[in-house]
């Protein structure tokens, strides 16, 4: 079977700003792929080009074997796109909203009625289907929005930061719904700047930073690039920049980055044995008052690959 998505050398420039810089990626059928990167990395711009909403300056997109540029109707019919902003009619009920979107997709009345019931069940809103969407919580609105993108049974579902601005309970409901879709065989492109969500939902992760896909792989593959480095958080009093320079010079330390007014983050091999060395190294410029060591994880991989943390 053809892959759910293949895009090659996708590029977009806004004036002189290269928002998306030659991104290529492939998503297999049934695969959940996470595009992880900070705000402004180029996630929404990439997705807009994949969905046919924004014309790329260069590059190609195939959805389930259909070329977006040559056969946009066929390619778009196989994508369910859920934008970051809610696009619903608040005066209509959940069911009425779905009916409206289903007609837009050209679904026949009879089939649509049946499909709406399925989709309501899928997003866990059967019990609230006949309430006005304006009375829904933010999380419920997101779920009905996801439902609208599923009506035409797309091959690939694209979710753009689906949990931003929702309460923890709704967030959990959204993630559970997405897990269920993936378990049912849906191909997924999930963008987020939340590491834990991507780790939970996706089998494969692409790290995007400043418009470039800087690394790609399973969580295990990305983390293994770090070797056996630990992530070390240090709390210090004193001159952080000078302390970072001194720590970077310690053998075994590969990164030392200030993360706040009194904290530094290091990547270091065998950090437990190096603690006395750290304390000695910063002597005269700073005092270490706290230490926390984390084994290699995706956060550490991200820091290693991009030189910054996700929540900068």
Ligand X SMILES: Nc1ncnc2c1ncn2[C@@H]1O[C@H](COP(=O)(O)OP(=O)(O)O)[C@@H](O)[C@H]1O
Contact with Mg ion (CB under 5 A): which of 4, 33, 44, 163?
Answer: 44
- Give dist(CA 182, CA 166) in Å, integer: 21
- Does position 192 interact with ligand X (CB under 6 A)? The reply is no
Q: How far is the CB of 131 from Mg ion (least distance, A)?
A: 29
H-assigned helices in 32-157: 43-50, 72-77, 94-104, 109-122, 138-150
- 45/145 with CB nearer ligand X: 45
Q: For ligand X, which stretch binds (CB under 6 A), given 33-41, 116-124, 274-282, 304-312? A: 33-41
Cβ-contact 264, 240 below 8 angstroms:
yes
Contact with ligand X (CB under 6 A): which of 31, 32, 45, 148?
Answer: 45
Provide the CB-side half-sphere exposure for 74 (13 A, CA). Answer: 12
H-assigned helices in 123-239: 138-150, 168-183, 195-201, 219-224
- Residue 114 binds which one of ligand X, Mg ion, none, with CB within 5 to 8 A depending on kind? none
Q: How far is the CB of 13 from ligand X (least distance, A)?
A: 9
Sign of the CA dihedral 60, 73, 158, 83? Answer: positive
Residue 175 dihedral angles phi and psi, to the nearest 5°: -60, -40
Q: For ligand X, which stretch binds (CB under 6 A), given 42-50, 60-68, 151-159, 224-232? A: 42-50
Q: How far is the CB of 108 from ligand X (least distance, A)?
A: 36
Q: What is the DSSP letter of 114?
A: H
Q: How far is the CB of 145 from Mg ion (least distance, A)?
A: 15
- 43/265 with CB nearer Mg ion: 43
Q: For ligand X, which stretch binds (CB under 6 A), given 39-47, 148-156, 197-205, 297-305? A: 39-47
Q: How far is the CB of 60 from Mg ion (least distance, A)?
A: 22
- Residue 89 binds which one of Mg ion, ligand X, none, with CB within 5 to 8 A depending on kind? none
- Residue 274 binds which one of Mg ion, ligand X, none, with CB within 5 to 8 A depending on kind? none
At residue 303, the 3 state secondary structure works out as helix
Provide the CB-side half-sphere exposure for 29 (13 A, CA). Answer: 8
Q: How far is the CB of 191 from ligand X (least distance, A)?
A: 7
Residue 302 dihedral angles phi and psi, to the nearest 5°: -65, -45
| Integer-rounded Cα radius of gyration of the chain | 23
- 10/281 with CB nearer ligand X: 10
- Report how far Cα 33 is from the mean position of its chain's Cα atoms: 9
- 84/262 with CB nearer Mg ion: 84
Q: What is the DSSP letter of 235?
A: E
Q: How far is the CB of 163 from ligand X (least distance, A)?
A: 14
Contact with ligand X (CB under 6 A): which of 5, 6, 27, 43?
Answer: 43
Strands of 218-259, DSSP E = 229-238, 253-258
Cβ-contact 259, 265 below 8 angstroms:
yes
Contact with ligand X (CB under 6 A): which of 4, 6, 41, 157?
Answer: 41
Q: For ligand X, which stretch binds (CB under 6 A), given 36-44, 88-96, 121-129, 297-305? A: 36-44
Other C-beta atoms closer than 10 Å to the C-beta of 104 total: 11
Q: For Mg ion, which stretch binds (CB under 5 A), given 15-23, 36-44, 113-121, 168-176? A: 36-44
Q: How far is the CB of 47 from ligand X (least distance, A)?
A: 8
Q: Nearest Cα to 122, choosing from 180, 170, 164, 161? A: 180
Q: Residue numbers of the site for ligand X (CB under 6 A)?
A: 14, 17, 19, 37, 39-45
């Amino acid at each position: 079977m053809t892959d759910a998505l293949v895009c090659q050398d996708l590029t977009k420039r806004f004036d002189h700003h290269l928002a998306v810089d030659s991104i290529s990626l492939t998503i297999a059928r049934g695969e959940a792929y996470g595009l992880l990167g900070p705000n402004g990395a180029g996630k929404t711009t990439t997705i807009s080009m994949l969905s046919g909403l924004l014309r790329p300056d260069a590059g190609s997109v195939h959805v389930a074997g259909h070329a977006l540029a040559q056969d946009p109707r066929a390619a778009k019919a196989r994508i369910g796109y859920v934008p970051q902003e809610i696009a619903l009619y608040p005066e209509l009920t959940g069911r009425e909203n779905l009916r409206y979107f289903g007609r837009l997709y050209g679904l026949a009345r009879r089939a649509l009625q049946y499909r709406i019931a399925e989709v309501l069940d899928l997003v866990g809103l059967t019990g609230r289907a006949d309430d006005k969407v304006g009375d829904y919580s933010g999380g419920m609105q997101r779920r009905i929005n996801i439902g609208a993108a599923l009506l035409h049974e797309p091959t690939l579902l694209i979710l753009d930061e689906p949990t931003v601005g929702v309460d923890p309970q709704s967030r959990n409901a959204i993630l559970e719904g997405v897990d269920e879709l993936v378990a049912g065989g849906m191909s997924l492109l999930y963008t987020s700047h939340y590491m834990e969500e991507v780790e939970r939902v996706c089998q494969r992760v692409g790290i995007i930073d400043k418009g470039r896909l800087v690394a790609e792989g399973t969580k295990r593959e990305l983390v293994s690039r770090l070797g056996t480095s630990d992530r070390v958080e240090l709390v210090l009093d004193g001159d952080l920049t000078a302390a970072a320079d001194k720590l970077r010079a310690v053998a075994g330390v590969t990164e030392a980055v200030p993360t706040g007014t009194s904290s530094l983050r290091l990547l270091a091999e065998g950090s437990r044995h190096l603690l006395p060395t750290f304390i000695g190294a910063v002597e005269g410029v700073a005092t270490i008052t706290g230490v926390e060591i984390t084994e290699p994880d995706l956060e550490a991989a991200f820091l290693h690959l991009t030189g910054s943390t996700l929540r900068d």
